[in-house]
Amino acid sequence: MPLFHPVDEKDITRAIAGSFLRQLGEYAESDVVIVGGGPSGLMAGRELSGGDLKVLIVERNNYPGGGFWIGGYFMNKLTLRSPAQEVLDELGVPYEKYTDGLYVADAPHACSKLIASACDAGVKFMSLTQLEDIVLREGKVGGVVVNWSPIAHLPREIAALDPVPLEAKLVIDATGHDASVARKLSERGIIEIAGEGAMWVNASEDAVVERTGEVYPGLIVCGMAVASVYGLPRMGPTFGAMLLSGRRAGELALELLQKAPLI
């Protein structure tokens, strides 16, 4: 008597394809598309979901987590300044106090719990999917245009693959240093991107959280993208501002969605 129930190979393929296509069809029109599944994007998604909202994270890597997986250098440890350790308490991640106001945690533990909490809240993911452009109509960002990310690394003559659009009431740019979504507006001369400043941890983190917000109608920036857009100093391998900026982006998106039907 085999341990596992017998199934046909074709049913495995159909199960994957059917589930993927159903989700893609449903999320071709989302409430919020978050581009980038690093700490700020995951926090924003976690904050937004849990109700009826359709929230999709588009991530160019084959896994979410961004810089949160490794933390500082190659050492698998991440630091947070007070009060951001409260997020670790919420996630049930153990940490140590290094000195007053500075805490250290195991990055894989914190990252996997943050990803799990976003999944638990109902966030859906499209991995290996890269932002190629934005939908822009009547002075408002109305979605993203995405492609299969490996395509970007193939010669153009063998990789002529058109992207697909995904509509959204709001888009959140959580792409980190690149600020990839906001860059699509700056390339067209609609906004300016200042480029991040040199490291100054004490000036950086408060400023990133404070400046988190709508950079253009329909587009919120959070995390390191905020530093890149506004020319704020960087903070190095410490993640408190990423978590609290993501949370603020999620809260703001909720407010905007409640205020008016945006499409």
Q: Residues interacting with ligand 48H, by CB under 6 A?
A: 35-41, 58-61, 66-68, 130-131, 174-176, 178, 180, 199, 223-225, 234-236, 239, 242
Q: Which is nearer to ligand 48H, 8 or 162 (CB)?
A: 162
Nearest approach, Cβ of 58 to ligand 48H (angstroms)?
5
CB of 63 to ligand 48H, least distance (A): 8
Minimum distance, C-beta of residue 72 to ligand 48H, in the bound complex (Å): 9
Q: Which is nearer to ligand 48H, 67 or 218 (CB)?
A: 67
- Nearer CB in complex with ligand 48H: 65/142: 65
Q: 11 vs 86, which CB is nearer to ligand 48H?
A: 86
- DSSP states of the chain as a string? --SSPP--HHHHHHHHHHHHHHHHHHHTEEEEEEE--SHHHHHHHHHH-SSS--EEEE-SSSSS-GGGTTBSTTS-EEEEETTTHHHHHHHT--EEEEETTEEEEEHHHHHHHHHHHHHHTT-EEE-SEEEEEEEEETTEEEEEEEEEGGGGGS-GGG-----EEEEEEEEEE--GGG-HHHHHHHTTTSS-----EEE-HHHHHHHHHHH-EEEETTEEE-THHHHHHHTPEE--SB-HHHHHHHHHHHHHHHHHHHHS---
User: Which is nearest to 171 in space by CA: 108, 219, 209, 104?
Assistant: 219
CB of 85 to ligand 48H, least distance (A): 16
- How near is the Cβ of 5 to ligand 48H at its closest, in Å? 36
What is the CA 1 to chain-centroid distance, rounded? 46
Residue number, 53 or 229, with CB nearest to ligand 48H: 229
Choice between 14 and 188, CB closer to ligand 48H:
188
Please, which residue, 53 or 131, has the CB nearer to ligand 48H?
A: 131
In the chain, what is the greatest distance between 2 CA atoms, to the nearest angstrom? 67
- What does the block give as tokens for 40? 């700020």
Contact indicator for 194, 229 with CB cutoff of 8 Å:
yes
What's the closest the beta carbon of residue 259 comes to ligand 48H, in angstroms? 26
Tell the smallest beta-carbon distance from residue 241 to ligand 48H (Å).
7
